[in-house]
Amino acid sequence: MAIRLGDEAPDFTAETTQGTVNFHEWLGDSWGVLFSHPKDYTPVCTTELGMAAKLKPEFDKRNVKVIGLSVDPLDSHMGWEKDIEETQGTAVNFPMIADSDRKVSDLYDMIHPNANDTFTVRSVFVVGPDKKVKLTLTYPASTGRNFDELLRVIDSLQLTAKYSVATPVNWKDGDDCIIVPAVSNEDAKEKFPAGWNEIKPYLRVTPQPNKVG
Ligand code: BEZ
């Protein structure tokens, strides 16, 4: 069954390039990004894995652990990682699940048979420290994902979790945020000492809370 926002991220134990991983245990108190790749030794995936590796300091800063998956076996992953390091200039620095029995792919509905009955699509699941699914993305095999967008969404999710703000259209780090409707004006006075601009009672704009003085 498809995984929906707010569902508990299904737990699993899997072989990876960094040893056996129990997903929930491995996540601990971190946020997580689980993302799938159609197949080893494919060009778009090679660039994505290189970028994910380069962005490790950005993921670390946000307390996010990254784990990749493709349905090829471990020895294939190991050989491909050498190519990724050679061509992308960064060694893969996160575990890659060897899902040749498709256990995890099936659990997360990553194989869409009407697109391709063998390979996974490009799925992304962002999981919160509460192990709940916060974001799902599904891209076709032929389109590489935008990792700047992934970091942007993680920033938005973390602001919502910590400060009860939402982020408006095309928001980027440092832009004003929106006070979520569930926060009353009375509570907002305490939560948002920098104040807010009430454009409409349901549209209250406040400076990004973690950038204020
Ligand atoms: C790729 O990762 O480059 C790719 C994989 C499957 C189909 C098309 C492209």
Q: What is the mean pLDDT of residues 60-82?
A: 98
- What is the domain partition of the chain in residue ranges? 13-145, 163-211
Counting every residue written for the chain, the total comes to 213
Backbone φ, ψ for residue 116 (5° rounding): -165, 130
Please give the CATH number for the structural domain made up of 163-211.
3.30.1020.10
Helix axes 147-163, 43-54, angle to 10 degrees: 40
Calculate what percentage of the chain has a pLDDT beyond 90.
96
Q: Which atom of ligand 1 is nearest to the CA of 45?
A: 2
Interhelix angle 74-88/43-54, rounded to 10 degrees, is: 70
- The burial class, CB within 10 Å (0-12 / 13-18 / 19+), for 123 is buried
For residue range 91-127, what is the model confidence (pLDDT) as tens digits?
999 999 999 999 999 999 999 999 988 899 999 999 9
Domain 13-145: assigned CATH number: 3.40.30.10
| pLDDT of amino acid 117 | 85
Whether residue 1 has pLDDT greater than 90 = no
The per-residue pLDDT for 37 is 95
- CA–CA dist 89, 148 (Å, integer): 19
The pLDDT of residue 212 is 87
Q: Ligand 1 site: residues with CB under 6 angstroms?
A: 38-39, 42-45, 141-142
> CA quadruple 14, 18, 22, 28: dihedral positive or negative?
negative
Encode pLDDT of 31-56 as tens digits: 999 999 999 999 999 999 999 999 99
**Which one of 48, 123, 142 would you pick to mutate in the ligand 1 pocket, going by the greatest count of ligand atoms within 8 A of its CB?**
142
- At 23, the amino acid letter reads F
pTM: 0.96
Residue 107 is predicted with a pLDDT of 97
What amino acid is encoded at 35 in this protein? Answer: F
